[in-house]
């Protein structure tokens, strides 16, 4: 929080911060561990999903007490990478349909009821999952109303052309933004 205050004071314009969760508490996950390939217990609309959605609101509430607001949150960091990562990686696995249902029944309504004007970003994973992920989530009118945009990572960009992923998604859902939400240099050094 002190670093965010310093960065904000140094900026000529307000910062647009977004937050992305890595994992829910172990007691909410199917594998009973913050690490590994667990999903949220149960299904959208149940006590686990509603509680997890309320964690987002509590997070925003607590930061707001320190005059830090978030422009957006993502529904989950790398929801499909959970299936490929080693066991110590903290994450929650979601399919596109599971994320859609979580947005429709839990996270979308929780954000809408909250005093925060925070936007919601879906996917937050590799663009190789587009446009399928967007079709599954944004193809649902209720989910689409709650979602502002699609977050993508760049690690597997060489596998799928932008025209087949980003452009195709934009053509299908032009009212939802596409934003690179994660990248790093040197991840893949294949030549």
Between CA 144 and CA 161 the distance in angstroms is 25
pTM for the whole structure: 0.95
Percent of the chain clearing pLDDT 70 (strictly above) = 96
For residue 29, list its beta bridge partners. 40
Q: Is 177 helix (H, G, I), strand (E, B) or coil?
A: strand
Pair of tokens at residue 45: 């609309």
Between CA 121 and CA 71 the distance in angstroms is 10
- Would you please indicate which residues are annotated as catalytic (active-site) residues? 78, 182
CA 134 to chain CA mean position, Å: 13
For residue 74, list its beta bridge partners. 121
- DSSP 8-state symbol, 130: T
- The ranges assigned to domains in the chain are 1-182
Q: Using one digit for the tens of pLDDT, what is the confidence trace for 141-188?
A: 999 999 999 999 988 888 889 999 999 999 999 999 999 999 887 766
- DSSP 8-state symbol, 105: I
Look at domain 1-182 and name its CATH class.
alpha beta
């Amino acid at each position: 929080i002190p670093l965010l205050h310093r960065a904000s004071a140094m900026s000529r314009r307000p910062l647009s911060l977004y937050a992305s969760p890595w994992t829910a508490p172990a007691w909410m996950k199917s594998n009973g561990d913050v690490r590994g390939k667990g999903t949220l217990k149960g299904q959208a609309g149940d006590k686990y999903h509603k509680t997890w959605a309320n964690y987002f609101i509590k997070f925003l509430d607590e930061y707001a007490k320190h005059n830090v607001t978030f422009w957006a949150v993502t529904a989950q960091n790398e929801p499909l990478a959970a299936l490929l990562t080693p066991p110590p990686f903290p994450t929650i696995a979601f399919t596109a349909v599971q994320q859609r249902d979580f947005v429709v029944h839990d996270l979308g309504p929780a954000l809408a009821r909250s005093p925060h004007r925070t936007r919601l970003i879906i996917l937050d994973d590799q663009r190789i999952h587009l446009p399928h992920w967007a079709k599954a989530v944004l193809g649902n009118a209720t989910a689409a109303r709650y979602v502002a945009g699609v977050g993508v990572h760049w690690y597997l960009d060489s596998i799928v052309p932008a025209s087949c992923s980003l452009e195709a998604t934009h053509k299908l859902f032009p009212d939802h933004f596409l934003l690179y939400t994660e990248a790093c240099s040197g991840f893949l050094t294949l030549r």
